[in-house]
Amino acid sequence: MCSARTDESDSSGAGGGMDVAATTSADERARAQRRVRWELLLGLIRKDLKIKYQGSALGFVWSLINPLVLLAVYTFVFQIVLRAGIPKFGFFLLAALLPWTFLSGSVTFATDSVVGNAGLVRKVPFPLSVLPMTAVGFNLTHFGLQMLVLLAVMLITGFTSFLGAQVLLAIPAIAVAIILTVGLSYLVAGLNVRYRDTKHLVEIVLMAGFWACPIVYSVSQISDKGPFVRWPWLVDVYYLNPMAGVSVSMQRALYGAGHTYGSPPTPVLPDPGYLFYVEKLAVGAIPSLLILVLGLYVYHRMSADFAEEL
Amino acid sequence: MSDYAIRATDVSKVFVNHLERATSFKERVIRRRALTQDFYALRDISLEIERGSTVGLIGANGAGKSTLLKVLAGILRPSQGTVETRGRIASLLELGAGFNGELTGRENVYLNASLLGMSRRETDRVFDSIVNFAELEEFIDNPVKHYSSGMYVRLGFAVAVHVDPDVLLVDEVLAVGDEHFARKCLDKIAEFQDDGRTILFVSHGLDLVEQICSRGVVLDHGRMVYDGDPYFAAGELRKILGTDVPVEIEAEETEATDEGISLGPIVFADGNGRTESTFHAGDPMTIQVPAVISAKWRAAVEWVRAVVMGVGDIPIWEMIAKRTDLPSDESDWLLTFMVPSCPPIRGRFVLGVSLMSASDQPIAAIRSRQAFEVRAEPGVGILHVDYQVSAEPSAGAPAISAASTSGGTDTHAAASSKVGR
């Protein structure tokens, strides 16, 4: 994602002033100004990455150290201090935590994506819809790298159960996470321009959202308890949160279904097969798509006045 | 008609001044109806800019120039009306807009060009040219936060003109650079003009507008008050600003329609009565000013003053009609001023006509909408003067010699005056 195309000043364009005009028509060039182009998106993501790691010696490595430390800390707390019982808790946790971090990071970042680029929005005409995408792309870059680190650690430590068909489940899971993330990002980016307390609302919702997903606990630890037993339909409501489906699917894909906990051994994951997870992802995809449509609509509606509101 | 680069139709821009704007959900819910106060930054602007023209947009501070540029650039949405543009627009609305201080000049060039719609490949091709133009070869890999404001604007301008725009919108930014760079910018603008690109620029440098624009648009309090010759646009603005050369006549409106008095339109004609706007020195010129004056006012009008004015409304000559020249009973007048021979003065002029009272106060005034031009022998300066010149070895030559070359006409090379280009 973060290609190493750093700027070499190639091409002998010194004298080449205005020869571009010949190659593209005025209409095409006008369209290039209004559409979100990959190059523009990547350029902005690269800018954010560059600014984030400006002046730090280790730069990108910090983002990779982050999940490693999480792995160590959570393993220590949950396995040694709390004796939570889920074996290989660190891997269980990170399988679902990384996509969640992707979502929460993107949404948090997106909240400020328009406001933070006020200078651009007010002074330069460019396709505004690129801004929330930049936030998502930035975090997707980190997500990708952190996943690689996780997989590497899993391989190194001999936790190789993910090798096989089950890992394919990660693809639809990440797809749903991306759809939801993009939708939410557009929504909050647009709203925050006019209603600055969107930011605070986002913080709270994300915090609650984190605990509403089976990330630090497993679904099987709650589905046989309290309200879920009395009102079994609550389980369906639970999975309306797309990230719940994403979490269990990522766990199924990376952590695997073979683990148990407790004295009468209970499986950590709710279902040993695949269909269950595909179904939960499908259920989550519906609200995700609705949020995407809503987010794009709200953003589009509000973006015409961004320059004025900022 | 169809070959426009920018077309704005009845564009108004209202800024809602939220006295108590809902900036939180709470307020939004509690106070359904916010207290607002509308401010018209632009009112009913209709403007069609032909492809290939250079238009100067001038006005006092707060007249709405920058708002109009932003609306045309698509940054602000017009509250009413529509804006259509054709081709790629590059805008330079503020110095270094879109630059990020943390990034190097090089990175900013690529990012900025990308925002303006250039592909990376296209940028590669013009990169050296940009750096060259901005004269930042040494500093291009330094973060732009360390740039001086001159360097900033140089780089910004260089990028904007190299993204191959069809339309260039420039807000008052050229003033920042030094003279050398300003010269370069003007050369680039001239090059753009030759290429047939469209330029719209805001400037407070009225001389510059007169010099390089083919058209001047004056905004005042959000309204377009003048659209036409840049020369007179500048004059119009100077009047608004009150910086015009004090002229006795109070020609505030183009058409005076006080109750009971209507004046104009002023017509310029040649010796045969044909409408004409260009005269040569020595040509006869006829100026007609129709007037309708009610009985109430007729008695008050003691005399009429017509003043031919040049740049900045500087009076050139005056023509007066006395009470005895004026009809006493009729309400419809047609004042005719006949100039049997235009003076040898080059330039473009407007006419101001005032009806004056016995106490020499203007009662009503009008200013010609169209300018007329007087052509004399080509040369520098506004006035053609006959003179003689001689040149011979100074040794032994008498200080004043009777024998000298007669001349005066063709001695000047065609150093064309910039005025009224």
Listed by start position, the domains of chain A span 37-45+56-309
Tell which residue, A198, A39, A206, has the closest CA to residue A114: A198
Comparing B264 with A151, which gets the higher pLDDT? A151
Does any domain span residue B148?
yes
Considering only CB atoms, A197 lies closest to which of B24, B88, B125, namely B24
Residues B53 and B179 in one domain: yes
* CATH number of the structural domain spanning residue B320: 2.60.40.1930
Q: What is the pLDDT of residues A270-301, one digit of tens each?
A: 888 889 999 999 999 999 999 999 999 999 99
- Tell me what pLDDT residue B95 has: 67
- Tell me what pLDDT residue B214 has: 85
- Tell me what pLDDT residue A242 has: 95
Look at residue A2 and tell me whether its pLDDT is greater than 60. no
Residues B182 and B279 in one domain: no
Residues B267 and B228 in one domain: no
Query: Which tokens go with B415?
Result: 């150093």
- Tell me what pLDDT residue A196 has: 87
Does any domain span residue B413?
no
Which residues does chain B have within 8 Å of residue A120's beta carbon, measured at their own beta carbons? 97-98, 115
Q: Give contacts of B 12-71 with A, CB under 8 A.
A: 15, 22-26, 28, 70
Greatest mean pLDDT among A50-64, A104-118, B10-24 lies in A104-118
Which of A5, A12, A39, A306 to mutate against chain B (most B CBs within 10 Å)?
A39
Residues B230 and B81 in one domain: yes
Look at residue A5 and tell me whether its pLDDT is greater than 50. no
Helix (H, G, I), strand (E, B) or coil at B376: coil
Domain count, chain B: 2
Closest CA of chain A from B97, distance in Å:
6
Look up the domain containing B107 and give its range: 4-241
Considering only CB atoms, A119 lies closest to which of B24, B97, B111, namely B97
- Tell me what pLDDT residue A241 has: 94
Query: Which tokens go with A256?
Result: 């695997």
From CA B121, how far away is CA A135, in angstroms rounded? Answer: 25
* CATH number of the structural domain spanning residue B70: 3.40.50.300
The amino acid that residue A280 corresponds to is K
Radius of gyration of the CA atoms of chain B, in A: 27
The amino acid that residue B341 corresponds to is S
Angle made by CA atoms A198, A203, A205, in degrees to the nearest 5: 90
From CA B16, how far away is CA B357, in angstroms rounded? Answer: 46
DSSP string, B18-78: ETT---SHHHHHH-SS--EEEEEEEEEEEEEEETT-EEEEEESTTSSHHHHHHHHHTSS--
Does any domain span residue B60?
yes
Look at residue A133 and tell me whether its pLDDT is greater than 90. yes
From CA B138, how far away is CA B136, in angstroms rounded? Answer: 5
Tell which residue, A175, A170, A178, A197, has the closest CA to residue A256: A170
Residue B167 forms contact with A (CB below 8 Å): no
Judged by CB atoms closer than 8 Å, whether chains meet at A29 and B166 is answered as yes
- Tell me what pLDDT residue A232 has: 78
- Tell me what pLDDT residue B2 has: 57
Closest CA of chain A from B111, distance in Å:
6
Does any domain span residue B112?
yes
- Tell me what pLDDT residue B190 has: 86
Residues B265 and B237 in one domain: no
Give the residues across from B353 on adjacent strands. Answer: B306, B366
Does any domain span residue B39?
yes
Comparing A20 with B322, which gets the higher pLDDT? B322
Closest CA of chain A from B95, distance in Å:
10
Tell which residue, A48, A142, A59, A63, has the closest CA to residue A99: A142
pLDDT category of residue A220 using cuts at 50, 70 and 90: confident
One pLDDT digit (tens) per residue for chain B, 421 residues: 458 889 999 999 988 766 555 566 666 666 555 566 778 889 999 999 988 899 999 988 888 888 899 999 888 889 999 998 888 888 888 766 778 888 899 999 999 888 888 888 889 999 999 999 989 889 999 988 898 888 888 888 888 888 888 899 888 766 667 788 888 888 888 888 888 899 998 888 787 887 788 889 999 988 998 888 887 788 788 778 875 543 333 344 444 445 678 887 888 888 888 888 888 888 899 998 888 888 777 778 888 889 898 876 778 889 998 888 888 777 888 889 999 988 888 888 888 888 888 877 777 778 877 778 888 776 677 788 888 888 888 766 555 555 444 444 444 433 333 333 3
Query: Which tokens go with A272?
Result: 């040993």
Q: What is the pLDDT of residues A242-270, one digit of tens each?
A: 999 999 999 999 988 888 887 778 888 88
- Tell me what pLDDT residue A240 has: 92
- Tell me what pLDDT residue A75 has: 80
**Exposure string over B177-205, b if 16+ CB within 10 A, otherwise e:** beeebeebbeebbeebbeeebbbbbbbeb
Residues B187 and B64 in one domain: yes
Task: Find the range with the poorest average confidence among A13-17, A99-103, A199-203, A239-243.
Answer: A13-17
Q: Could you tell me if A235 and A223 are in contact, meaning their C-beta atoms sit under 8 angstroms apart?
A: yes
Consecutive H or E run containing A67: helix A61-74
| Residue at token pair 């022998």 | B377
Task: Find the range with the poorest average confidence among A114-123, A147-156, B99-108, B370-379.
Answer: B370-379
Strands A260-261 and B36-50: unpaired
Judged by CB atoms closer than 8 Å, whether chains meet at A39 and B132 is answered as no
From CA A40, how far away is CA A43, in angstroms rounded? Answer: 5
- Full-prediction pTM beyond 0.80? no
Calculate helix-pair angle for A198-211, A89-111, nearest 10 degrees.
170
**A180 class by beta-carbon count within 10 Å (0-12 exposed, 13-18 middle, 19+ buried):** buried
Does any domain span residue B396?
no
Residues B108 and B237 in one domain: yes
Look at residue A8 and tell me whether its pLDDT is greater than 60. no
Main-chain phi, psi angles of B55, to 5 degrees: -115, 130
- Tell me what pLDDT residue B61 has: 86
Q: Could you tell me if B204 and B58 are in contact, meaning their C-beta atoms sit under 8 angstroms apart?
A: yes
Does any domain span residue B251?
no
Residues B195 and B344 in one domain: no
Consecutive H or E run containing B316: strand B315-321
Alpha helices in B76-205 (DSSP H): 105-115, 120-134, 149-162, 179-195
Q: What is the dihedral of CA A76, A82, A87, A90, to 10 degrees?
A: -40
Residues B150 and B290 in one domain: no
Residues B58 and B160 in one domain: yes
From CA B301, how far away is CA B263, in angstroms rounded? Answer: 13
Closest CA of chain A from B24, distance in Å:
5
- Tell me what pLDDT residue A113 has: 92
Helix (H, G, I), strand (E, B) or coil at B149: helix
- Tell me what pLDDT residue A201 has: 94
- Tell me what pLDDT residue B274 has: 85
